Amino acid sequence: MTTDRSLRELAAERGLTVGAMIGPDSLRTESDHRRVLATEFDAVTPGSPLKMGPLRPSPDTYDFGDADTIVDFALANDMSVRGHTLVWHQQQPEWFETWNHSDERVREFLRDHIYTVAGRYRKKIDTWDVVNEAVADDDSLRETMWYDAMGEDYIANAFRWADEVTHADLYYNDYGGEAVNEKSDAIYDLLADLLERDVPIDGVGLQLHALFDRPDPESIAENIERFQDLGLDVEITEMDVDFYEHDAPDDPLELQADYYREITEVCLETGCDGMTVAGVNDATSWLRYYENFPELFIGDPLLFDDWYEPKPAYEAVVETLDSY
C-alpha cells in the first residue's frame, strides 16, 4: 500500500463520501467491526432497520431500537447517515397480508409512515432513499400495493411528503440501471418526468451489486453524467463484487480489486458524490444469508475479509484515491 492514511481520510480529500451498509448486531457485539467502520468509512446506511417491516411490528407501533443503534454510532463518530428506505415493495410488515385496507387508507398509511420516520430523524439523517426499486426488470413501473392504490403518483407523493418533514437530500435508488441500458433509460425517463413536475428529488442511487454481471465502467460513467445533466447528484449506494461458485476465476480477488479500482476511478472522474459498499467485511455480507445466494456465490464481495483484514480490493481503492 502506498499510504498509511485511511480510506476515509483519502476519500474526504477527494470530496468523495465512502460508506458502508450495515446491520446492528455486529455493531453491538464486535469491537473490530466498530473500529474498522469508524476508521475507514465516513457514512453508514442501515441495511434493514429503517425498512417498513422491521420498523412496524403492528399497525400502531414503531420499533426504532436497531435504527437508533446505527444512527447514534454514526453521529458519535462524525459520520453521515443514509436512510434506507421509506418506500419499497419488499420487507413490508407481516400483518399487511391480512390488513383490510382501501386505496385511501393505503395512501394515508404511507403518508403517516413517511411523516413519522423521516420526521423523527429530521436532524440526524442526511440523505434518504425515499423510493427504492420502483422500476421492474421489464422496465415498466413495478406493480406494488402502493402503485395499486395511487398509481404512479405514489412516487411523487412520497418525495413531496418526505420534503415536508426533512431537510435531507432525497434520492431515488435502484439496481440494474448502473450502466446505460433499457432499465437505466426507464429510470432516467421517470426521474426527468418527476423533475419536470417539480417533484423534490435531489439524486439517484445506483446500487451496483456486481454479481450476475459487472457493468462496463465506461457506460456507468456515461450514465452518471446524464443523470448529472438533469441536475441530480449521483451515488453508488450498495456496491459489492463477487463471482459464481460454480464458475469462479483462478484469481477472483485480483479481478475483484480491478473492478473496485475502475469504479473508484469513475466516481472520481465524474464527480460522483459517494460510494457505499454493502457491508464492512465479508462475514457480514448479505450474500452469506440471503435465500439461495450462499450456494450461488463465493461470498467474499467486500473490501475486508472475515477477520477485518484489508483485501486487494481495499488496496486498489486506497491506491486510486491516493494517486488521483
pLDDT tens-digit readout, 75-112: 999 999 999 999 999 998 888 876 778 899 899 999 99
**Whole-model pTM over 0.85:** yes
**Residues 245-292: tens digit of each pLDDT:** 998 999 999 999 999 999 999 999 999 999 999 999 999 999 998 877
Looking up cell 463520501 gives: 17
> How far is 289 from 222, CA to CA, in rounded Å?
34
Q: Find the mean pLDDT for residues 177-202.
A: 98
239 contacts 208 by C-beta, under 8 angstroms? yes
133 flagged as catalytic: yes
Residues 62, 116 contacting (CB under 8 angstroms): yes
* Contact criterion met (CB below 8 Å) for 195 and 230: yes
Kindly name the residue from 133, 178, 235, 262 that is annotated as catalytic. Answer: 133
pLDDT at residue 170 is higher than 70: yes
| Residue 235 identity (one-letter amino acid) | E
Q: Give per-residue pLDDT as tens, 36-66.
A: 999 999 999 999 999 999 999 998 899 999 9
Q: What is the pLDDT of residue 52?
A: 96
Contact criterion met (CB below 8 Å) for 51 and 302: no
* pLDDT at residue 1 greater than cutoff 90: no
- Which tens digits make up the pLDDT trace of 7-30? 999 999 999 999 999 999 999 999
Q: DSSP characters for 190-233?
A: HHHHHHHTT----EEEE--EESS----HHHHHHHHHHHHHTT-E
Cell of 226: 446524464
Q: List the Cα angle 88/220/235 in 5-degree steps.
A: 50
Q: Peptide bond preceding 98: is omega within 30 degrees of 0, i.e. cis?
A: no
> CATH number of the domain at 7-323, out of 3.40.50.2020, 1.10.10.10, 3.20.20.80, 3.90.1310.10?
3.20.20.80
**Catalytic choice (40, 178, 235, 238):** 238
Separation between Cα atoms, residue 44 and residue 82, nearest integer Å: 6
The burial class, CB within 10 Å (0-12 / 13-18 / 19+), for 289 is exposed
Tally Cβ neighbours within 10 Å of residue 148.
Answer: 11
Residue range 108-137: mean pLDDT, rounded = 97
Q: Where are the domains of the chain?
A: 7-323
Neighbours of 28 (CB within 10 A): 13
195-249 confidence digits (pLDDT tens): 999 999 999 999 999 998 999 999 999 999 999 999 999 999 999 999 999 989 9
| CA–CA gap between residue 91 and residue 85 (Å, rounded) | 10
Determine contact, residues 228/197, Cβ cutoff 8 Å: no
Of 50, 86, 52, 44, the closest CA to residue 66 belongs to 50
**pLDDT at residue 133 is higher than 80:** yes
Residue 143 designated active-site: no
pLDDT score recorded for residue 94: 86
Three-state SS string over 53-112 comes to: HHHCCECCECCCHHHHHHHHHHHHCCCEEEEEEEECCCCCCHHHHHCCCCHHHHHHHHHH
What is d(CA 163, CA 171) in angstroms, rounded to the nearest whole number?
Answer: 11
Q: What burial letters (b/e) apply to 92-105, b meaning 16+ CB within 10 Å? A: bbeeeeeeeeeeee
What residues pair up with 205 in beta bridges, in sequence order? 173, 235
**Residue 41 dihedral angles phi and psi, to the nearest 5°:** -125, 150
Q: Which residue has the cell 477527494?
A: 14
Q: Which three cell numbers stand for residue 206?
A: 445506483
